[in-house]
Amino acid sequence: MKLTFDAETESFRQTFVDWLEANMPPEAATTERPSSTADLPQWARDWQRTQFDAGWLVPGNPPEYGGQNATLIQQFIHNEVLATRHVADSFNPQALGIIVPSILTFGTEEQKERWAIPILRGELTAALGMSEPNAGSDLAGLRTKAVLDGEEFVLNGQKVWTSGAHDADVILTFVRTDPDAPKHKGISCILVPTDTEGVTRRPFGSYISPEDLDFNEVFFDDARVPAENLLGPLNAGWKVANGSLGHERAMLWLNYSAALDRFVDEFRNAVAGTDAADDDRLVDWYGSVAIDAQAVKLLGYRTLAKTRRGMIPTEQSILKLFSSESNQDAHARAIEELGALGLDHETLSGPFRHLHLDGYMNSWFDGYLRTFAGTIAGGTSEIQRNIVAERVLGMPR
């Protein structure tokens, strides 16, 4: 147990920081705001490509996939530098974090060439089609159907919440291919190009603003997709859904941790010059947020250290739950503590934070609304609690 990493690791960090400072696009070049999580302005495509070519996009990958075969600890350092500097590697995060790893794990060589590499280079963008109107937490209850007809799958059904679908070139779509099998065993995963006839995308506003268009309904009406677009074996879609939660996702906590750290800083700035430090109630609450921020980091470090040693990092299971709820409570209290100042509402018109994904939403209120993405998307807090209780604590189903 040591407070610092070894010299070799620190020198890796310095190498990346130096590279970043030399290659990050300047603020003036990044003023065009991405309008969804699959909308890449040219500067964002170029930035992603620059990282890809230099092996810094996904350092753990081999060079042909934008990496340098970095070790786990090096991947962590890379993520930590980006997170603490609030620099986004990609403005199509679901593609880099979930879709590409799924293709690289389960795809054929052709699929990696056709989809993974162009997505990594920022030439194509992707969306994730899992949820449906009647299949949210109960994802395995999904009903969108795909039937093999000769050399093609024919898709019918509907997805919803599909972030960025209207700007995406391809949707990683989970479909039912065996209606008679038990529900987890009849699911497959298909790459559906969005220009396929019979695919209709309808973006709709989030509660942040009617102009915050990221959510989509996606309809499939006899949409025909080549059979070769099946990712992984037929009816093995559930495995693909779970398998994409590999190393990349194991480091997602860094983003939550960075969000909490950012909160601690921003709230301090917001009350600078006031007599906030004399308000015992406020100090008490703010202290607990700072404690949460530190605890998330420590639990994350512990997860990393255990993973490295081949131990099972049970703490990992609570990182998303704990940090997303803490971040949410912090924002709610912040608005209330700010009183009338909390009414400030810059929303989409506010300045776009240089290279930072969450910089769209600038008011404290919008920040609070955003925190519910953490407690709903990717498995709600309630579902997370069920999973931890059953799998970590061994409580009966």
Partner 1 sequence: MDFELDEDQIALQSAAAEILQKECPPSLLRAVIDGKGVDDDLWQTLVGLDWPALAIDPDAGGSGATAVELGLVIEQLGYVADPTPFLATATQFAPVIEASSDAEQRRRFLGPIATGGTGTLAVAGPTGRWDPADPPVSAERTSGGVRLSGRASFVIDGDRADEIAVLAATDSGPLAVVVPRADATVTREPAFDLTMHVTTVDLTGVTVPDDRVLAVDDPTAAFTAALESAVTGLSLMTVGACQRAFDMALAYTKERHQFDVPIGSFQALKHKAVDMYTLIERARALGLFAALCIAEGDPRRPLAAAMAKAAAGDAQHLVFKHTVQFFGGIGFTWENDLHLYLRRAKAAELIFGGAAHHRAIVGRHVLSGADL
Ligand X SMILES: Cc1cc2nc3c(=O)[nH]c(=O)nc-3n(C[C@H](O)[C@H](O)[C@H](O)COP(=O)(O)OP(=O)(O)OC[C@H]3O[C@@H](n4cnc5c(N)ncnc54)[C@H](O)[C@@H]3O)c2cc1C
Give me the active site residues, please: 248
What residue 100 binds from partner 1, ligand X, none (CB within 5 to 8 A, per partner kind)?
Answer: none
DSSP string, 358-388: GGG--SHHHHHHHHHHHHHTTS-HHHHHHHI
CB of 269 to partner 1, least distance (A): 10
- Nearer to partner 1 among residue 26 and residue 310 (C-beta): 310
Q: Where are the alpha helices (DSSP H) in 180-279?
A: 237-243, 247-250, 253-270
Fill in the amino acid letter for 330. Answer: A
The whole-angstrom separation of Cα 117 and Cα 61 is: 12
Contacts of 323 (CB under 8 A, 6+ apart): 253, 256, 257, 259, 260, 292, 296, 374
Could you tell me which residues are beta bridge partners of residue 188?
A: 175
β-strand 126-129 against 170-176: which pairing, if any?
Answer: parallel
Query: Stretches 40-48, 153-161, 245-253, 317-325: which one binds partner 1 (CB under 8 A)?
Result: 317-325
Tokens 């909160």 sit at which residue? 263
Instruction: Name which position in 26, 150, 310, 396 contacts partner 1 (CB under 8 A).
Output: 396
Instruction: Quote the least distance from Cβ 382 to ligand X, whole Å.
Output: 3
Residue 110, CA atoms < 13 Å, CB-side half-sphere: 7
Candidate residues 12, 215, 322, 368; the one interacting with partner 1 per rule CB under 8 A = 322
Considering the complex, state which of residue 92 and residue 307 has its C-beta at the smaller distance from ligand X: 92
By a kind-dependent CB cut-off of 5 to 8 A, residue 80 interacts, out of partner 1, ligand X, none, with: none
Q: Cβ 393 to partner 1, closest distance in Å? A: 6
What is d(CA 224, CA 97) in angstroms, rounded to the nearest whole number? 27
Helix, strand or coil for residue 222? strand
Which of 338, 369 has the CB closer to ligand X? Answer: 369
Instruction: Choose the one of ligand X, partner 1, none that binds residue 337, judging by a C-beta under 5 to 8 angstroms depending on kind.
Output: none
Out of 89, 248, 292, 337, the residue judged to bind partner 1 by CB under 8 A? 292
Binding to partner 1 in span 209-268, by CB under 8 A: 261, 264, 268
Residues found near ligand X in the complex (CB under 6 A): 94, 128-131, 136-137, 161-163, 373, 376-377, 380, 382-383, 386
Q: Does 380 bind partner 1 (CB under 8 A)?
A: no
Q: Angle formed by the axes of helices 42-54 and 7-23, to 10°?
A: 140
The entry of partner 1, ligand X, none that residue 318 binds, CB within 5 to 8 Å by partner kind: partner 1
Torsions phi, psi for 25 (to 5 deg)? -65, 145
Q: Is 295 one of the binding residues for partner 1 (CB under 8 A)? A: yes
Smallest distance from the beta carbon of 296 to partner 1, in angstroms? 9
Contact between 305 and partner 1 per CB under 8 A: yes
Instruction: Select the residue interacting with partner 1 from 302, 333, 353, 354 (CB under 8 A).
Output: 302
Q: Is 7 in the site for partner 1 (CB under 8 A)?
A: no
- DSSP run (H or E) holding 320: helix 316-338
Does 277 participate in binding partner 1 (rule CB under 8 A)?
yes
**Residue 376 touching partner 1 (CB under 8 A):** no
Partner interacting with residue 341 (select from ligand X, partner 1, none; CB below 5-8 Å by kind): none
Measured over all CA atoms, what is the biggest interatomic distance in the chain, rounded to whole angstroms? 74
Burial class (CB in 10 A: 0-12, 13-18, 19+), 180: exposed
Q: What's the CA gap between 165 and 223, in Å, rounded?
A: 16
Residue nearest to ligand X (CB): 136
* 315 part of the interface to partner 1, by CB under 8 A: yes
**Which tokens go with 63?**
């060079």
Residue 297 DSSP SS3: helix
Contact range with partner 1 by CB under 8 A, out of 54-62, 125-133, 243-251, 386-394: 386-394
Question: 179 burial class (0-12, 13-18, 19+ CB within 10 angstroms)?
Answer: exposed
Interacting span for partner 1 (CB under 8 A) from 3-11, 136-144, 237-245, 331-339: 3-11
Residues that bind partner 1 (CB under 8 A): 1-5, 261, 264, 268, 271, 276-277, 280, 282-288, 290-295, 297-299, 301-302, 304-306, 308-309, 311, 315, 318, 321-322, 382, 384-386, 388-390, 392-397
